[in-house]
Amino acid sequence: MKIYNTKTRSKEDFIPLEAGKLKLYACGPTVYNYFHIGNARAFIFFDVVRRYFEYLGYEVSYVQNITDIDDKIIEQAIAENKDFSQIAAYYADAFLEDSRRLGIKPPTVQPRATEVMQEIIALIKELEDKGFAYEVNGNVYFDTGVLDTYGSLSGKKIEEQLAGARVIENTEKKHPADFTLWKASKPGEPVWQSPWGEGRPGWHTECVVMSQQHLGRSFDIHGGGIDLVFPHHENENAQAMALSGKPLARYWMHNGFLNVDGDKMSKSLKNFFTARDILKEYPAEAIRFFFLSKHYRSPIDFSKELMTESHKAVQNLHSALALMDESAAPESTEHSEIQAIETKFRDGMNDDFNTAKAIASLFELASIIRNSKLETPLRQAAAKSLLELGSVLGFFQEELAPAETSLPDLSAYLIEMILRYRSEARANKDWALSDRIRDELKELGIEIKDSPEGTKWSINK
C-alpha cells in the first residue's frame, strides 16, 4: 500500500510500526459550534482509512480527540452568556450525534482535553526541564530556536510560513515562531493550577498528549485537514521530537480544501453549511459518496447539483443490491470476474486511497447484478461483493435509514421493478404495453433508454 506522506511530499510504501496493527490519530473538532462540511470531509475520510485497514485485517487503534477548552469556546461562552463547559458539552454531544448520522464508526478512543490536564502539565514540565520551553509572566512558550528539526514537517522556511500567517506582535517570545504551551489566565477565564500559576493549555500540546497517551510516543498515521499542517501539526511534531527525538507519526496524511460553488466557504458569503444543514436535505450516504468520488487530496467543490448527482448514484447502487439476495450466495463458489473487480477495488485503495477508482468497481459489480442474461450465482456473488466493498466506504449501513419513516425511499426499487415487467412485455413482443409503461414513466419525469446492455433510467427535471 502506498500513502502520500505530507512530510516527504511523496507516495511511500506503508509499513506499520507493528505488523498487523495500525495506530491512527486524526484531529477532532474544537467544540464551539456545529461542525461544517469541510470538517465532515476529514471525519468521513479518516473513517474510511480506518475501515479499509480493518477490511485488510489490521487491528486498528483509532484515536480522535475532542478539544473542549480553547479561545473559541471561551468566546462562544461569552457570546451566549454561558459557562465554557456548558458550550463544550453541548457541541461535543452535537459532534457525536452528527458523526453517527454521517455513518462514522465511533473511534476506538475519543479523549477530551480537559480530562488529561495533569498529563498536559507534566508534558510541558518535561519540555521545560529538557530546555525546550521557557516561561514569561506565567506563559510558557516552546523555544523553536533550540530544536534544529523545527519546520521539517511543513517543509517551508519558518519565515515564509509566518509571512503567510497573521502574526500578532508578542514581545514575550524569543522568536516569532515560538508557540504557546501554557497560557496564563485572564480574569473570568477557566483555570487550572500549574507550576507556572493559574492558566490553561495550548491546543498543540493537547493533541500530543491525547495521541501519545493511547498510541505511544511515535505512531503510524497522523491525519487532518491540509490547513492543519502549519502551525498545528508542525508544532505537535516539534514537541514529540523534543521529547524523544522521534517524530510523532511516521506518515502524515492531509485532506484537501472544500469550496462551495467555486468560492471559499465563509459565513460572510452566506455559503457556509454545517453537516447538520446538509443532512436535512440529503442522506448520509449521498454525502459520503460526494466526498469519496473525488481523491481526498484534491480540492473539492460542493454544490447542490453535485449532491443531487451523488444521491442518484448511491440510489443506483442500492437498487442494484435490492435485485439480489446476496446472503444466498454460496461461500465456496469463486468467480474470476468478481475477484478481478475486487482486485481493482483494492488496487485503487492501495494507491493512496483512490476512492474514486474504488467506487468505479462498485458500479462494475452493480452492472453484473443488473444483467439478467448472466447466471444467478454470479449475480448473487456480485451482490455479496458489492455489499462488502461498499461497506468499506461506509455505504449500506442499516442504521443510516431515516428513523422517522418506517419505509425507506422505495422509488428506485419500484422503478427497477416496473422496468423488469417492461422487459418481459418486450420479450413477449407486447409493444403496446411496453410503450405505455415508457410514456407513463415519462409523465412522472423518469426518462428511460433502451440499449443492448439493458434499460437505463434517469430523472428528468
Report the distance separating Cα 96 and Cα 309, nearest Å.
27
Tell me if 116 contacts Zn ion by CB under 5 A.
Answer: no
Choose which of 24, 27, 181, 341 interacts with Zn ion (CB under 5 A): 27
Report the distance separating Cα 176 and Cα 221, nearest Å.
29
* 67 touches 111 (CB < 8 A): no
Q: Which listed range, 205-213, 253-261, 321-329, 440-448, lies at the site for Zn ion (CB under 5 A)?
A: 205-213
Tell me if 40 contacts Zn ion by CB under 5 A.
Answer: no
Q: Which listed range, 97-105, 204-212, 213-221, 346-354, lies at the site for Zn ion (CB under 5 A)?
A: 204-212
Tell me if 207 contacts Zn ion by CB under 5 A.
Answer: yes
Q: Rounded to the nearest whole angstrom, what is the least distance from the CB of residue 304 to Zn ion in the complex?
A: 31
Q: Which is nearer to Zn ion, 39 or 434 (CB)?
A: 39
Q: How far is CA 448 from CA 172, 202, 445, in A?
A: 70, 59, 10
* 54 touches 159 (CB < 8 A): no
Q: Rounded to the nearest whole angstrom, what is the least distance from the CB of residue 206 to Zn ion in the complex?
A: 7
Q: Which listed range, 17-25, 85-93, 207-215, 299-307, lies at the site for Zn ion (CB under 5 A)?
A: 207-215
Q: Which is nearer to Zn ion, 36 or 311 (CB)?
A: 36
Q: Rounded to the nearest whole angstrom, what is the least distance from the CB of residue 234 to Zn ion in the complex?
A: 11
Q: Which is nearer to Zn ion, 104 or 207 (CB)?
A: 207
Report the distance separating Cα 252 and Cα 223, nearest Å.
6
Q: Rounded to the nearest whole angstrom, what is the least distance from the CB of residue 239 to Zn ion in the complex?
A: 11
Residue 156: all three cell numbers together:
517551508
Write b or e for each residue in 325-364: b if 16 or more Cβ atoms lie within 10 A of its Cβ, otherwise e: ebeebeeeeebeebeebbeebbebbbbbbbbebbbebbeb
User: By C-alpha distance, which of 186, 228, 68, 204 is closest to 132?
Assistant: 204
Q: Which listed range, 23-31, 116-124, 130-138, 389-397, lies at the site for Zn ion (CB under 5 A)?
A: 23-31
Task: Report the chain's terminal Cα–Cα distance, integer Å.
Answer: 42
Q: Rounded to the nearest whole angstrom, what is the least distance from the CB of residue 65 to Zn ion in the complex?
A: 6
**What residues from 260 to 279 belong to the interface with Zn ion (CB under 5 A)?**
none
User: By C-alpha distance, which of 323, 328, 353, 302 is closest to 423?
Assistant: 323
Q: Which is nearer to Zn ion, 229 or 341 (CB)?
A: 229
Q: How far is CA 188 from CA 73, 75, 199, in A?
A: 13, 11, 11
Q: Which is nearer to Zn ion, 116 or 207 (CB)?
A: 207
Q: Rounded to the nearest whole angstrom, what is the least distance from the CB of residue 109 to Zn ion in the complex?
A: 14
**What residues from 84 to 113 belong to the interface with Zn ion (CB under 5 A)?**
none
Backbone dihedral angles phi then psi of residue 60, each to the nearest 5 degrees:
-105, 130
Q: Which is nearer to Zn ion, 254 or 288 (CB)?
A: 254
Q: Which is nearer to Zn ion, 27 or 241 (CB)?
A: 27
Q: Which listed range, 15-23, 199-207, 318-326, 332-340, lies at the site for Zn ion (CB under 5 A)?
A: 199-207
Q: Which listed range, 201-209, 305-313, 376-384, 411-419, lies at the site for Zn ion (CB under 5 A)?
A: 201-209
Residue 172: all three cell numbers together:
514575550
Q: Which is nearer to Zn ion, 252 or 289 (CB)?
A: 252
In 10 A of CB 280, how many CB atoms?
Answer: 7
Which residues have a Cβ under 8 Å from the Cβ of 203 and sit 6 or more positions away? 30, 67, 70, 232
Q: Which is nearer to Zn ion, 27 or 221 (CB)?
A: 27
* 192 touches 186 (CB < 8 A): no
Q: Rounded to the nearest whole angstrom, what is the least distance from the CB of residue 232 to Zn ion in the complex?
A: 6
Report the distance separating Cα 275 and Cα 306, nearest Å.
16
Q: Which is nearer to Zn ion, 206 or 326 (CB)?
A: 206
| Binding footprint of Zn ion, residue count (CB under 5 A) | 2
* 311 touches 286 (CB < 8 A): yes
Q: Which is nearer to Zn ion, 121 or 207 (CB)?
A: 207
Q: Rounded to the nearest whole angstrom, what is the least distance from the CB of residue 219 to Zn ion in the complex?
A: 13
Q: What sign for the dihedral angle of Cα 147, 150, 152, 153?
A: positive
Q: Which listed range, 100-108, 203-211, 270-278, 376-384, lies at the site for Zn ion (CB under 5 A)?
A: 203-211
Where along the sequence are the contacts to Zn ion (CB under 5 A)?
Answer: 27, 207
